Amino acid sequence: MQLTFYKYQGTGNDFVMIDNRQNNFDKNDTKRIAFLCDRRFGIGADGLILLENHKTANFKMVYFNADGNESSMCGNGGRCITAFAKHLGIIKDSAIFEAIDGMHEATIDNDIVWLKMQDVSSIEHHKSHVFLDTGSPHHVQLEDELNDLDIKAEGHKIRYGSPYNTSGTNVNFVCKNSNDNFSVRTYERGVEDETLSCGTGVTAVALAMHYIGETEKNMIALQTQGGKLQVSFEKAEKGYKNIWLIGAANQVFKGEI
Protein backbone atom coordinates (compact mmCIF):
# COMPACT_ATOMS: atom_id res chain seq x y z
CA MET A 1 0.00 0.00 0.00
CA GLN A 2 1.32 3.42 -0.94
CA LEU A 3 2.06 5.85 1.87
CA THR A 4 1.24 9.54 1.50
CA PHE A 5 3.73 11.71 3.33
CA TYR A 6 4.69 15.35 3.71
CA LYS A 7 8.14 16.82 4.21
CA TYR A 8 8.43 19.73 6.65
CA GLN A 9 11.39 21.70 7.94
CA GLY A 10 12.00 24.17 10.74
CA THR A 11 15.33 26.01 10.39
CA GLY A 12 16.72 23.05 8.47
CA ASN A 13 15.60 20.42 11.01
CA ASP A 14 13.56 18.25 8.63
CA PHE A 15 10.84 15.69 9.18
CA VAL A 16 8.74 13.14 7.35
CA MET A 17 5.20 14.00 8.43
CA ILE A 18 2.35 11.47 8.24
CA ASP A 19 -1.37 11.90 8.92
CA ASN A 20 -2.05 8.82 11.05
CA ARG A 21 -5.55 9.65 12.24
CA GLN A 22 -6.75 6.35 10.75
CA ASN A 23 -3.96 4.41 12.54
CA ASN A 24 -2.74 2.83 9.30
CA PHE A 25 0.96 3.32 10.03
CA ASP A 26 2.78 0.59 11.97
CA LYS A 27 4.61 2.38 14.78
CA ASN A 28 6.51 -0.77 15.73
CA ASP A 29 8.21 -1.08 12.33
CA THR A 30 11.49 0.58 13.29
CA LYS A 31 13.22 -0.63 10.12
CA ARG A 32 10.63 1.09 7.92
CA ILE A 33 10.85 4.31 9.90
CA ALA A 34 14.66 4.29 9.65
CA PHE A 35 14.36 3.58 5.90
CA LEU A 36 11.99 6.50 5.36
CA CYS A 37 14.43 8.81 7.18
CA ASP A 38 17.46 7.52 5.26
CA ARG A 39 18.86 10.28 3.03
CA ARG A 40 20.25 7.89 0.41
CA PHE A 41 17.72 5.07 0.23
CA GLY A 42 14.54 6.68 1.59
CA ILE A 43 12.95 10.13 1.73
CA GLY A 44 15.55 11.61 4.05
CA ALA A 45 14.89 13.37 7.36
CA ASP A 46 16.14 13.97 10.89
CA GLY A 47 13.00 12.24 12.17
CA LEU A 48 9.49 11.02 11.42
CA ILE A 49 6.35 12.45 13.02
CA LEU A 50 2.86 10.97 13.18
CA LEU A 51 -0.19 13.19 13.68
CA GLU A 52 -2.87 11.20 15.50
CA ASN A 53 -6.30 11.79 17.01
CA HIS A 54 -6.63 12.84 20.64
CA LYS A 55 -9.73 12.62 22.85
CA THR A 56 -9.52 16.15 24.26
CA ALA A 57 -6.72 18.03 22.46
CA ASN A 58 -6.53 18.99 18.77
CA PHE A 59 -4.14 16.14 18.02
CA LYS A 60 -1.35 13.94 19.33
CA MET A 61 2.29 14.07 18.20
CA VAL A 62 4.35 10.86 18.02
CA TYR A 63 8.01 11.46 17.20
CA PHE A 64 10.65 9.00 16.01
CA ASN A 65 14.36 9.67 15.58
CA ALA A 66 16.06 8.80 12.30
CA ASP A 67 17.21 5.51 13.83
CA GLY A 68 13.57 4.36 13.91
CA ASN A 69 13.05 4.57 17.66
CA GLU A 70 10.38 6.65 19.37
CA SER A 71 12.08 9.50 21.13
CA SER A 72 11.73 12.36 23.58
CA MET A 73 10.23 15.74 22.70
CA CYS A 74 11.35 17.49 19.52
CA GLY A 75 10.82 21.26 19.63
CA ASN A 76 11.20 21.95 15.92
CA GLY A 77 9.03 18.92 15.25
CA GLY A 78 6.38 20.42 17.51
CA ARG A 79 6.45 23.62 15.48
CA CYS A 80 6.28 21.67 12.21
CA ILE A 81 3.35 19.49 13.28
CA THR A 82 1.45 22.65 14.23
CA ALA A 83 1.93 23.93 10.67
CA PHE A 84 0.92 20.48 9.36
CA ALA A 85 -2.26 20.50 11.46
CA LYS A 86 -3.17 23.89 10.00
CA HIS A 87 -2.55 22.55 6.48
CA LEU A 88 -4.89 19.62 7.19
CA GLY A 89 -7.59 21.99 8.47
CA ILE A 90 -7.48 20.60 12.01
CA ILE A 91 -6.65 24.01 13.52
CA LYS A 92 -6.79 27.66 12.46
CA ASP A 93 -4.27 29.77 14.35
CA SER A 94 -3.83 27.96 17.67
CA ALA A 95 -3.49 24.42 18.94
CA ILE A 96 -3.30 22.27 22.01
CA PHE A 97 -1.63 18.92 21.46
CA GLU A 98 -0.07 16.09 23.41
CA ALA A 99 3.53 14.98 22.94
CA ILE A 100 5.59 12.45 24.86
CA ASP A 101 6.43 15.04 27.54
CA GLY A 102 2.85 16.24 28.06
CA MET A 103 0.52 18.90 26.68
CA HIS A 104 1.71 21.83 24.58
CA GLU A 105 0.15 25.05 23.35
CA ALA A 106 1.04 26.57 20.00
CA THR A 107 0.04 29.52 17.85
CA ILE A 108 0.75 30.06 14.16
CA ASP A 109 0.83 33.28 12.12
CA ASN A 110 1.72 32.71 8.47
CA ASP A 111 4.78 30.44 8.82
CA ILE A 112 5.87 31.59 12.30
CA VAL A 113 5.02 29.15 15.07
CA TRP A 114 5.15 29.88 18.80
CA LEU A 115 5.44 26.61 20.75
CA LYS A 116 5.08 26.55 24.51
CA MET A 117 7.60 24.22 26.12
CA GLN A 118 7.36 22.49 29.49
CA ASP A 119 8.51 24.36 32.59
CA VAL A 120 12.08 23.57 33.64
CA SER A 121 12.70 23.24 37.38
CA SER A 122 16.06 21.46 37.50
CA ILE A 123 19.32 22.81 36.05
CA GLU A 124 22.74 21.37 36.86
CA HIS A 125 25.67 23.80 36.62
CA HIS A 126 28.96 21.92 36.34
CA LYS A 127 32.47 23.31 35.87
CA SER A 128 32.59 22.78 32.10
CA HIS A 129 28.92 22.61 31.14
CA VAL A 130 25.27 22.93 32.09
CA PHE A 131 22.80 20.04 31.98
CA LEU A 132 19.02 20.36 31.81
CA ASP A 133 15.97 18.68 30.31
CA THR A 134 13.70 20.76 28.07
CA GLY A 135 11.61 17.79 26.95
CA SER A 136 14.84 16.10 25.87
CA PRO A 137 18.14 15.96 27.81
CA HIS A 138 20.75 18.56 26.84
CA HIS A 139 24.41 19.13 27.62
CA VAL A 140 25.27 22.82 27.02
CA GLN A 141 28.91 23.85 26.65
CA LEU A 142 30.31 27.35 26.02
CA GLU A 143 33.06 27.70 23.41
CA ASP A 144 35.13 30.64 22.16
CA GLU A 145 34.22 29.80 18.56
CA LEU A 146 32.36 27.07 16.70
CA ASN A 147 33.68 27.08 13.13
CA ASP A 148 36.68 24.83 13.73
CA LEU A 149 34.93 22.39 16.07
CA ASP A 150 34.39 18.83 14.84
CA ILE A 151 30.81 18.72 16.12
CA LYS A 152 30.20 15.08 15.21
CA ALA A 153 33.39 13.80 16.86
CA GLU A 154 33.19 15.97 19.97
CA GLY A 155 29.45 15.51 20.32
CA HIS A 156 29.74 11.73 19.98
CA LYS A 157 32.42 11.66 22.68
CA ILE A 158 30.24 13.57 25.16
CA ARG A 159 26.99 11.82 24.18
CA TYR A 160 28.41 8.35 24.96
CA GLY A 161 30.79 9.42 27.72
CA SER A 162 30.39 9.72 31.48
CA PRO A 163 27.98 10.52 33.07
CA TYR A 164 25.54 9.95 30.19
CA ASN A 165 26.84 6.62 28.84
CA THR A 166 24.35 4.43 26.92
CA SER A 167 21.24 6.51 27.73
CA GLY A 168 23.04 9.45 26.17
CA THR A 169 22.26 13.12 25.80
CA ASN A 170 22.04 15.78 23.12
CA VAL A 171 25.09 18.04 23.03
CA ASN A 172 25.04 21.78 22.32
CA PHE A 173 28.13 23.89 21.66
CA VAL A 174 27.52 27.60 22.20
CA CYS A 175 29.31 30.81 21.29
CA LYS A 176 28.18 34.17 22.68
CA ASN A 177 27.71 36.89 20.05
CA SER A 178 26.12 39.53 22.28
CA ASN A 179 24.06 39.80 25.45
CA ASP A 180 20.94 38.43 23.75
CA ASN A 181 22.38 36.55 20.78
CA PHE A 182 24.15 33.18 20.74
CA SER A 183 25.32 30.80 18.02
CA VAL A 184 24.54 27.12 18.57
CA ARG A 185 25.60 23.86 16.96
CA THR A 186 23.98 20.63 18.14
CA TYR A 187 24.83 16.95 18.04
CA GLU A 188 21.54 15.06 18.30
CA ARG A 189 21.12 11.75 20.06
CA GLY A 190 19.25 9.30 17.80
CA VAL A 191 20.41 11.11 14.67
CA GLU A 192 23.99 10.56 15.88
CA ASP A 193 25.23 13.56 13.95
CA GLU A 194 25.02 17.33 13.85
CA THR A 195 21.64 18.66 12.75
CA LEU A 196 21.09 22.09 11.24
CA SER A 197 18.91 23.04 14.19
CA CYS A 198 17.45 21.59 17.40
CA GLY A 199 14.45 23.23 19.07
CA THR A 200 14.79 21.70 22.53
CA GLY A 201 18.52 22.39 22.18
CA VAL A 202 18.25 26.13 21.60
CA THR A 203 15.67 26.26 24.39
CA ALA A 204 18.19 24.60 26.70
CA VAL A 205 20.91 27.01 25.57
CA ALA A 206 18.77 30.10 26.24
CA LEU A 207 17.87 28.94 29.75
CA ALA A 208 21.41 27.79 30.53
CA MET A 209 22.95 31.09 29.43
CA HIS A 210 20.51 33.01 31.62
CA TYR A 211 21.05 30.64 34.54
CA ILE A 212 24.85 31.05 34.56
CA GLY A 213 24.68 34.83 34.05
CA GLU A 214 25.78 35.10 30.41
CA THR A 215 22.61 37.12 29.70
CA GLU A 216 20.00 39.05 31.68
CA LYS A 217 17.52 39.09 28.80
CA ASN A 218 14.38 36.95 28.70
CA MET A 219 14.09 36.94 24.90
CA ILE A 220 17.13 35.31 23.30
CA ALA A 221 18.05 34.97 19.61
CA LEU A 222 19.76 31.72 18.69
CA GLN A 223 21.67 31.40 15.42
CA THR A 224 21.75 27.81 14.17
CA GLN A 225 23.24 26.34 11.01
CA GLY A 226 19.72 26.32 9.57
CA GLY A 227 18.60 29.80 10.57
CA LYS A 228 17.39 31.92 13.47
CA LEU A 229 15.18 30.85 16.37
CA GLN A 230 14.05 32.79 19.41
CA VAL A 231 13.29 31.64 22.93
CA SER A 232 11.36 33.67 25.50
CA PHE A 233 10.88 32.72 29.14
CA GLU A 234 10.20 33.91 32.68
CA LYS A 235 12.27 33.19 35.77
CA ALA A 236 10.29 31.11 38.25
CA GLU A 237 10.85 30.57 41.97
CA LYS A 238 12.55 27.35 40.95
CA GLY A 239 13.79 27.28 37.37
CA TYR A 240 11.87 28.76 34.42
CA LYS A 241 8.27 28.99 33.22
CA ASN A 242 6.27 30.34 30.25
CA ILE A 243 8.97 29.11 27.88
CA TRP A 244 8.25 29.67 24.18
CA LEU A 245 10.19 28.46 21.15
CA ILE A 246 9.61 30.75 18.16
CA GLY A 247 10.48 30.31 14.50
CA ALA A 248 9.37 29.42 11.00
CA ALA A 249 8.01 26.01 9.98
CA ASN A 250 7.44 25.20 6.31
CA GLN A 251 6.11 22.43 4.11
CA VAL A 252 8.73 21.41 1.54
CA PHE A 253 6.81 18.88 -0.53
CA LYS A 254 4.19 16.12 -0.55
CA GLY A 255 4.73 12.66 -2.00
CA GLU A 256 3.90 8.96 -2.04
CA ILE A 257 6.18 6.04 -1.42
Residues belonging to the active site:
74, 198
- Burial degree of 247 (CB within 10 A; 0-12, 13-18, 19+): buried
Bridge partners for 15 per DSSP: 8, 47
58 φψ region: left (φ > 0), alpha (ψ -120 to 50), beta (else)? alpha
The SS3 call for residue 104 is strand
Measured in degrees and rounded to the nearest 5, phi and psi for residue 40 equal: -105, -35
Tell me the C-alpha distance between 143 and 131, whole Å: 15
Q: How far apart are CA 213 and CA 234, in angstroms?
A: 15
Cβ–Cβ under 8 Å, residues 116 and 152: no
**Which stretches of the chain are DSSP H helices?**
30-37, 75-87, 151-160, 199-211
CA count, 13 A, side-chain hemisphere, 62: 18
171: left (phi over 0), alpha (psi -120 to 50) or beta: beta
